[in-house]
Structure 1
Amino acid sequence: MDVVRPEFVPDPSLSTAEMETLQRDIARAAVFEDDHAVDPESVAIDGPVGQSTLGEAGDGSVDEPDTDRPLVAGVDQAFVGDRAVSAVVVLRGREVVERVYAVESTEIPYVPGLLSFREGGAILSAFAELDHEPDIVFVDGSGRIHYREAGLATHVGVTLDVPTVGVAKNLLCGTPRESLDRKLPEGARVPIDADDEVETAENGVCIGYAVQTRQYESETQYVNPLLVSPGHRVSAETAADLVLATAAGYKLPEPTRLADDYADEVKTDV
């Protein structure tokens, strides 16, 4: 995939103020409404995807791909010293059709709210290796749930102009409409509203959802929800629908779960 908006390519040499200004520009360019042809039901996965779905060549090809279903990509990172390993896994239903990765130096430390300037270069390099163009992309990181509505999923989505969904494990900012400090039933979703920490949105605007993809039956244990938000060309409601449709019995949706596994697999060789 090629970069569509080169002016938004993450530049870790920028000052903090310059990075934040760029994020405001990205948020203005982002589309937080549905602008894609992917029906969540068309990407639903009824069970975990295994390596057996790969073709015999082991190169990401499949024996009988279901060409009627959309291509869904998952992105995740692993780290080896000061290098980021970005892995992209592309699915069509339960079939893994392609896996690629790229390795880039992380030139700045982790700073809350500026993650895309640390990891975005590796992600774009990985996408440049793809032969397939996904219809929707799941990113391990925030989208609109961000201080300037421009988290990693939004930054990548706008730069590539591809529909993206942000899937985070922790709440960066915003206020849940209901307490998340309790056991939520599987399938539940709690709106996250913009608050004073979100400088680019009016208070009370829904910027994403806490989504409960999986839950224990035990009375003493519970699984925390994922924080799901639109990255680009996806609405908050559809982002939640897509994550629930692809959870397949795990906490993480299959696209990012498989990307996480692949990143861990390849980092031993870099």
Structure 2
Amino acid sequence: MQQVHPELAPRPGLSRTEMETLQRRVAETAVFDDDLSFAPERVSLGDPENTTLVGDAAPPLVAGIDQSFLDGRALSAVVVLRGGEVVERVHAVSDLDLPYIPGLLSFREGGPILDALAELETDPDLFVFDGSGRIHFRQAGLATHIGVVCDVPSIGVAKSLLCGTPDEDVDGRPEGWRTPIRADDSVDAVGGHPATPETTIGYAFQSRQYDSRPIINPLYVSPGHRVSAETAVDLVSRLSGDYKLPEPTRLADAYADEAKAQYE
């Protein structure tokens, strides 16, 4: 698929100051309101052949994106779903130019992800990332950065909280529970995007809870681009199956491990 804003793509060789400046440009371009080509209620894990269509619209194509790692390389995997059906899987293996640095993940993993997206024959309507979107020090996490570069609605789903403050304690909550994550002093105001204690930058979402297991921690869902925080968490709920992770990223994670085996 094509990059709409290649000038904003993460690239190697930048200083930390240059990377942070680019992130602010990404955040200024990002849209944290709903600008979708599909009705959110069209998103589900049901059989697309047995789902009532809105007008003539087919269920949207949802791409889950995740990675596995080889020596000094990333294997980026993309799994595209329509309803509960996998319609495409692609991957790419790319060199890594940076170590992991909190807040700069898109400069380590974003280029490799763009390499994999370039292999797609389909044009997804929604990206779901293993990583943060607006829940980020400069409101430009991985989901925001790549969503803006491709100008595709995107959502970040992280397993830990990078920044921000939940409205309520997150421990031991029942399945389906959610609470807003508000901007705190570690979050910069960027462009037209405020960062006050009233600003909702995402949600803690309890996707699953199991009687037979220890308490499961929530996911941290945030808008990446062209999705509001409220719609982002609603969509992740609609994409949640029998596991903690939403099905698109769970399948991308499994495919990344499957594909990795051929390179070892």
TM-score higher than 0.5 here? yes
Q: Deviations over 1:3-48 (max 9, x none)?
A: 110111111210001000000110000000000033333222259x
How do 1:77-88 and structure 2 match up within 5 A?
Answer: 77-88=67-78
In structure 2, the CA distance between the partners of 1:263 and 1:208, relative to structure 1 (3 Å rule), is same
Q: Match for 2:244: what amino acid?
A: K
CA contact (8 A) 2:46 2:83 kept: no
1:158 maps onto 2:148 in alignment: yes
1:145 equivalent to 2:138? Answer no
* Aligned residues of 1:46 and 1:248 also touching (Cα < 8 A): no
2:225 is aligned to 232
3-state SS of paired residue (2:187): coil
Three-state SS of the structure 1 residue aligned to 2:251 is helix
Matched, 1:253 2:243: no
Q: Is the 8 A contact 1:65 1:95 kept in 2?
A: no
Partners of 1:228 and 1:188 lie apart in 2 by 12
- TM-score of the pair, normalised by structure 2: 0.92
Report if aligned partners of 2:156, 2:221 keep a CA contact under 8 Å in 1: yes
Look up the SS of the partner of 2:163 in the other structure. Answer: coil
Amino acid at match of 2:152: V
In structure 2, the residue matched to 1:188 is 177
Counterpart position of 1:207: 201
After TM superposition, list the pairs within 5 Å mapping 1:85-104 onto structure 2.
85-104=75-94
Kept in 2: contact 1:164–1:232 (CA 8 A): yes
The alignment's C-alpha RMSD in Å is 1.7
* One-letter identity of the residue aligned with 1:91: L
* Structure 1 residues without counterparts, runs of 5 or longer: 48-61
CA–CA separation in structure 1 for the residues paired with 2:216 and 2:27? 31
Letter in 2 for 1:188: W
Q: How does 1:128-143 map to 2 (within 5 A)?
A: 128-143=118-133
CA contact (8 A) 1:38 1:136 kept: no
Confirm or deny: 8 A CA contact 2:165 2:183 kept in the other structure: yes
Match of 1:263 in 2: 256
Q: How many aligned positions are there? A: 253
Query: For 2:185 and 2:91, how far apart are their aligned partners in 1?
Result: 38
Contact kept in structure 2, 1:43 and 1:246, CA below 8 Å: yes
Question: Is residue 30–residue 233 contact of structure 1 (8 Å, CA) maintained in 2?
Answer: yes
Question: 1: distance between equivalents of 2:181 and 2:256?
Answer: 30
Deviation of the 1:228 alpha carbon: 0.3
**3-state DSSP class of the match of 1:172?**
coil
1:240 aligned counterpart, secondary structure: helix
CA deviation string 1:104-136 (max 9, x = no partner): 111110000000000111100111110000111
- Of residues 162, 167, 171, the one that matches 1:172 is 162
Deviation at 1:65, TM superposition (A): 9.9
Give the equivalent residue in structure 1 for 2:54.
none
